[in-house]
Chains A and B, each alone.
Chain A
Amino acid sequence: MSENILELKEITKRFAGVEVLHAVSFTLRPGEVHALLGENGAGKSTLIKVVTGVYQADGGEIFLNGGQVHFADPSESRQAGIAAIYQELSLFPDLDVAENIYVGRQPTSAGNRIDWRKLYSSAGELLKSLGVQLDLKAKARSLSIAQKQMVEIARALSIDARILIMDEPTSSLTLNEVADLFRLVRKLRDDGTAIVFISHRLEELFEIADRVTVLRDGNYIATRQVAEVNREDLIRLMVGRTISSLYPKTEVPAGKVLLKVDKLTQVGVYENISFELRAGEILGMAGLVGAGRTEVARAIFGVEPPTSGTIAIDGREVRIHSSQQAIELGLAYIPEDRQLHGLIPPMNIVANISLPMIGSYARRGWLSDKAERTAAFNSARQMEVRANNIWQKARELSGGNQQKIVLAKWLSTKPRILIMDEPTRGIDVGTKAAVHALMSKLAGEGLAILMISSELPEVIGMSDRILVMHEGHMTGHFTRLEATQELIMSAATQAVKAGSPQ
C-alpha cells in the first residue's frame, strides 16, 4: 500500500458560528480515485474548498506528502500541486482554449515576451496526450460543458497537479461524454495522479472509484473499498439517521383534485411526469439536485412551457404561458433561490410583499399607500416576521425571515396551489420548524402544496405522498407510510438508461 499524498485530520469548519464540518478525516493515495459521497449538504463541497484554500479550516490539520500545510488562498494550493475542477467552471470566456490552459503562466522567451508559438504547440501536445480534439483558437465561450471540462483538466495537468479534485464532473454531461471523461480519469490515475471524485450517481462510483468515503451532515461516516460494498451499503451509510419529530404535518382529509399533470415532457430535461395534487395535500418531490424537479415546477408555473403533456387545474385543461396567467389561475411558486428570484433585496418589506398584487392597491394608476401598508403589515404579522419595522430592507433580514417575506408575498395572491422549491434550505432550525408548521396549517385550510425538497427527513416528515425523480424520470411514488429514506434514496440514485421506456 502506497503512502498517502494527502491526509486531512479532523477538519472542522464553521460558518457564522454554525459548525458544518465536524472533525472530518480523509486520506488520498497517489494513483487512486477516491470518491466522496453524501447527500446534498453533507459537507462534501465545503471539505473540498478547505483543501483548495478557498476556505480555511477552523480546526484540524492538513498534511501534503507528510508535511503539514496551510493554504491561505487557492493559488497556494495550486502551487502545491492541487487542482480542482468546480461545478461552476472557471474558464475565461473570451480567451481561447490554449491561453485558458496557460493563463497567468504563459511560456515566455527572452525579455519576458510571451512565446505564443510555444504556447499553442504545448497546448496542442497536452490536449493530444489527453486524446482530446479541440480547436486551440476557439474561445472558451463557444465550448460545450464537456469541452470546458477538458480544458480545465488540461490546465490542471499543465501545472503538474499531483492531486485532481473533481466536484460533480458528470452532472451536466451526456453518457458519451461521461465515458470520455472516465477514460481520461483512468489514464490520469494510471499515471499516478491522485483523484478525488465527487458524484451523486452511485453507479458511477462503482465504475470509476477505488475507495469511497461517506459524509453525512458534516460528519465523517466511513471509508470503504468500493469492491467490498454494494449500493445498499452505501445508501445506508449516506442516510442512516432517524427522523426527528420536527415535522408537524397533520393528517388532513384530502379534497378534490386541484392540479393534474399528465405526461409532462421537456425533451432532454424531464419526461413523462404525471401526478395529481389534491386540496389539503402536501406532495413531496424528492430527488437529487439536477433531477429535473425545479424544471417541472417552472413548467407548471408557465415560466418554461413543456414541449408536450398537459396540465389541468380544477379538472380543466389549461395552457399556461406566463407566470401572470399562473397567478390568475390560483398558483403560487416560491423558488429555491430567494435572493435571485423571490425577493428584491434593496426594497423594504412592504414593497416586497405587495409586489405581485401591486395593481390591487392602486386607484386610477396611483398607489394607495395606506392599503398597501396595512395589507403588508397584516401578512408580515401573520407570518411572524422578525424585523425592526416594515420599512426594513429585505436584504437586512435573516434567511428565515426572508423566506417568510417570500411566503407572505405569495400568500397575498390567495393561491389555491402552492409550489415550494426547497422551502427550508439555508435557514436555521427554529425558522425551519416555523415554516413547517405554517405549511401544515395552510394545508389544513385546504391549500394544495407541491414541495420540492432534497432533504429526506423533510420530505418524509411533511409529505402525504412522495414522488421521486432521477435524471428527468419519475422513479418512485410512495405514500407517507411506505416511504423510508432507503427507498427514496434508492429511487433517487437509480440508473435509468437514457431513452429506455419507463
Chain B
Amino acid sequence: MSTQNLPALPARRTNVLWSIARYREAGIGLIILILVVLVTLRSPEFLTIDNFRDILLNISILVIVALAQAMVIITHGIDLSVSSMIGLVAMMVAFVVKQYPGMPMVSAILLGLALGAVLGMINGLIITYGKVPPIIATLGTLSIYRGLVFFYSGGTWINSFELPKSFKMLSKGTPLGLPNMVIYAIIVAVIVYYFLSYTRTGRSIYAVGGNPDAAAVAGIRSQRILFLVYLLAGVACGLAAVLWASRFESAQTNTALGFELQTVAAAVVGGVSISGGVGTVPGVLLGALLLGIIQNALTLVRISPFWQLAAQGLLILIAVVADNLIARRIQRSKSS
C-alpha cells in the first residue's frame, strides 16, 4: 500500500534508445559522445583516425590493469599496489633482458607474468590468510614493492641503449592495422569478459562482492575467490610491466608511480561499484577510454600542463556524478 500518490506513469517506452539506456554503460557512452563533439568543435584534428589510434595506444596498459582492478573492486576490495608491482616487475624483467639480450621475448613476457603472479599472491595471502583489509594490505605492499625497486636497482635506471631491439619491438608494430599494444589489451579484455561471464569462478566474484554471507551459504569459497583476484591483479601487472618497459624503452625507479589511481578511476568511472558486486568489462573499457580522451583532449585544446591534472580530476568527477544522476533517473522510472 502506498502512502502517497505517485505521479502518473509515463507510457512504457520500448524504443531502441530506451533499451540501451537500461544499461549502465549507456550513461558513460553518452558522456564520451558529448565530450567528443565538444572537443572536435574546438580542435577538429581531434576527430581523426590517427588521433584515436594514439588514444587507444595510450590507454592499452591502463585497460589491462583496470580490468584486473575492476575484478578486485567487484569483490569489495581494492588493490593500491598495482603501480608498484608494475614498477618492480618492469625493473626486474629489464635487468634480466639486459643480461641476456638473446633470450626469446616470449620468455620475457612469461617472466613478467610469473613475477607479477608472485607479488599478487603475496597480496592475496596477506588479505585472506592475514585477514588484513585490502586497502591497508595493498597500501603496505605499495610502499614495500616500490622500496624493492630501489633496493633491486640500487637507484639506477635501465636505459634504451641497454635493451635489445627485440624487447623494444614487443610493443611496437601494427599487425592487422592496429598497434600491438591495442591488440594485447583486446586479448586481455576478451579473456576477462569470458572469465567474468561464462565461468562459475567468474560469477562467484560478483557473488562474493554482492553478499558475502549469502555467498558462504551458497557454498562459494570466498577466501579462494579473494586470493584469486589479487593473484590475477598481479599477473595483469606483470604483463603491463613488460609492455611498459618495452614501450618506453626503459625501466626507472618511478615507473608507473601514481598509476594505481588511474586504474581505480577507470574502473569506477566505468560503473564498477566501490561497494562491490557490480561491474562489467565494457564499462571498464569505456571508463578507460573516457580517461584517455580527457587526457588527449586537454593537450589538444592546449590547457596548460599545470592545470591538466586538476582538469582531469574535475572531468572524472563530473562524469561520475552525471552518470549517477542518469542511473538514478533510470532507476526511478523503472521502479515507478
Shortest beta-carbon distance, B132 to chain A, in Å? 19
Chain B residues near A30: list those with CB within 8 A. none
Stretch of B52-60, B117-125, B176-184, B194-202 with 4 or more beta carbons under 8 angstroms from chain A:
B194-202
Report Cα–Cα, A92/B198, bound state, in Å. 18
Report Cα–Cα, A423/B265, bound state, in Å. 47
Report Cα–Cα, A106/B198, bound state, in Å. 9
Q: B210 at the A/B interface (Cβ < 8 Å)?
A: yes
Residue-wise interface mask of A (92-113) relative to B, using a CB-CB cutoff of 8 A (1 in contact, 0 not): 1111000100011110100011
Q: A324 at the A/B interface (Cβ < 8 Å)?
A: no
Contact B200 A108 (CB under 8 A): yes
Report Cα–Cα, A105/B278, bound state, in Å. 20
Contact A74 B217 (CB under 8 A): yes
| Residue in B1, B3, B207, B335 whose CB lies within 8 Å of A104 | B207
Chain A residues near B216: list those with CB within 8 A. 73-75
Shortest beta-carbon distance, B86 to chain A, in Å? 30
Q: A360 at the A/B interface (Cβ < 8 Å)?
A: no
Contact-size category for B: 20 to 34
Q: A371 at the A/B interface (Cβ < 8 Å)?
A: no
Report Cα–Cα, A103/B214, bound state, in Å. 10
Q: B220 at the A/B interface (Cβ < 8 Å)?
A: yes
Contact B206 A104 (CB under 8 A): no
Contact A99 B203 (CB under 8 A): yes
Chain A residues near B310: list those with CB within 8 A. none
Contact A90 B219 (CB under 8 A): no
With contacts A142-B335, A268-B1 taken as known, whether A91 is within 8 angstroms of B200 at the C-beta atoms is no
Report Cα–Cα, A333/B334, bound state, in Å. 38
Q: B11 at the A/B interface (Cβ < 8 Å)?
A: no
Chain A residues near B273: list those with CB within 8 A. 94
| Residue in A74, A75, A93, A114 whose CB lies within 8 Å of B211 | A93
Contact B199 A92 (CB under 8 A): no
Chain A residues near B210: list those with CB within 8 A. 92-95
With contacts A103-B220, A114-B197, A114-B198 taken as known, whether A91 is within 8 angstroms of B203 at the C-beta atoms is no
Q: Considering only CB atoms, which chain A residue lies closest to B217 in the complex?
A: A74
Q: A79 at the A/B interface (Cβ < 8 Å)?
A: yes
Contact B219 A267 (CB under 8 A): no
With contacts A95-B210, A307-B3 taken as known, whether A103 is within 8 angstroms of B203 at the C-beta atoms is yes
With contacts A74-B216, A75-B216, A142-B335 taken as known, whether A94 is within 8 angstroms of B1 at the C-beta atoms is no
Q: Considering only CB atoms, which chain B residue lies closest to A113 in the complex?
A: B198
Contact A94 B277 (CB under 8 A): yes
Residues in A52-86 with C-beta less than 8 Å from chain B: 73-75, 78-79
Shortest beta-carbon distance, B78 to chain A, in Å? 18
Chain B residues near A307: list those with CB within 8 A. 3
Q: Considering only CB atoms, which chain B residue lies closest to A109 in the complex?
A: B198
Contact A91 B211 (CB under 8 A): yes
Report Cα–Cα, A112/B203, bound state, in Å. 13
What are 8 sample pairs from A and B whose C-beta atoms fall under 8 A apart? A79-B219, A95-B206, A95-B207, A103-B218, A104-B203, A105-B200, A114-B197, A142-B335
Please report A residues at the B interface, Cβ cutoff 8 Å.
73-75, 78-79, 90-95, 99, 103-106, 108, 112-114, 116, 142, 267-268, 307
In the A-B complex, the 7 residue pairs with the closest CB atoms: A75-B219, A90-B214, A92-B210, A94-B277, A104-B218, A74-B217, A114-B198
